[in-house]
Amino acid sequence: MARILGGKYKIGEKIGSGSFGEIYIGSHIDTSEIVAIKMESRKSNQPQLLYESNLYSILQGGSGIPKMKWCGSDGDNNVLVIELLGPSLEDLFYFCGNKLSLKTVLMLADQMLTRIEYLHSKGFLHRDIKPDNFLMGLGKKANQIYMIDFGLAKRYRDPITNKHIPYRENKGLTGTARYASYNTHSGIEQSRRDDLESLGYVLMYFLRGSLPWQGLQAATKRQKYDKICKKKLSTPIEVLCKSYPVEFASYFHYCRSLTFDQRPDYGLLKRLFRNLFTRAGYDSDYLFDWTILKYQQMQQQKTQSQPNAPLAVPTSLEPLEEDNNKGVNGSTQLDAERPLISVDHQRTVNNGSSMPTAMPRVSTENVSKPVRLRRVSSTKQ
């Protein structure tokens, strides 16, 4: 008999795990709504789920914030039920061959900055900005980025007095070393500037395919953190951003110029990337790399199954209404609102300190023949 949580949700198969618990797919027993169920042991040395559920409650209603369905306890577990989301940016990066185009990165940057700005406006820092913690939506929300995993989030302002937390040093590293800011590695208390600098490393990771401090070997985690820190601090911004538009170096310089309690100018940073987007001649069509790749694979499968049929070339790459999939000359257009992503791998993401809510192998699209996307081959080791 299926296990029922909170008298409402039937728990299904496990679809992910992390250092703080496990995640399952589930469904509402009355409405059959598909949901994500996050669970952690109540005996955990560092329980975070109830804290995270409280933060979800505070953030509810914000664009790109998952809807919380239920939270509570069940036996020996703390439980958080949220809306089902699509694949993480880490999964999509992997699917696209470990590199993303400038256009896709700029479209991601705009939404990710908006998510961070919203979180900061509520008085919290994320402290674990990384690709695993940003997910795409499903269905009509397939172009929307969601921010998840607030287990390491921290208030930086007193909710009553609005006073900023004090400056401190000799702090341990909280978050994921790969994307940690310069000051975080240096033991300085994190503030808004550090979430933004971490985002900069994520964007360069997408553009470059990797960061200079990846793949370092060490006997212990502490030694590895030290190596990452040394390499990161010795890599000038201009070297990190070499061969890429100057706006990325400008972004880092701005983040590092901020004082501990200074409010970042989020609008300035978004304009920086929006102006680059416009000058590059890109269209705001929400055609991410994985959307186009999925379309190409669909066409390839169609051609293989019907050898005599010509490959349909879209006459327009503008997002379409769900009931309008034909171009003016009858060729199939790409429906950018509903990119069915089903990545051919199920990875346990545990390179950081929080658990992803990504469901890379789950699709709730109402289609008769789901297209399974396969990763593009990559020469990068």
Residues that are catalytic: 128
* Distance (Å) of CA 65 to CA 24, 115, 157: 19, 8, 20
Q: Which residues of 230-256 are buried (b: 16+ CB within 10 A; e: fewer)?
A: eebeeeebeebbeeebebbbbbbebbe
Q: Which residues sit opposite 5 in a β-bridge?
A: 9
Does the annotation place 38 within a ligand binding site? Answer: yes
How many residues appear in the chain? 381
Q: Rounded to whole angstroms, how far apart are CA atoms 261 and 216?
A: 33
Cβ atoms 331, 312 nearer than 8 A: yes
- Identify residue 219 by its one-letter amino acid code: A
Helix axes of 246-257 and 266-279: crossing angle, nearest 10 degrees: 170
Whole-number Å distance between alpha carbons of 358 and 91? 8
Enumerate the H helices of 210-263 as residue ranges. 221-233, 237-240, 246-257
**Helix pair 266-279, 102-121: axis angle to 10 deg:** 160
Annotated binding site for ATP: 38
Annotated binding site: 38
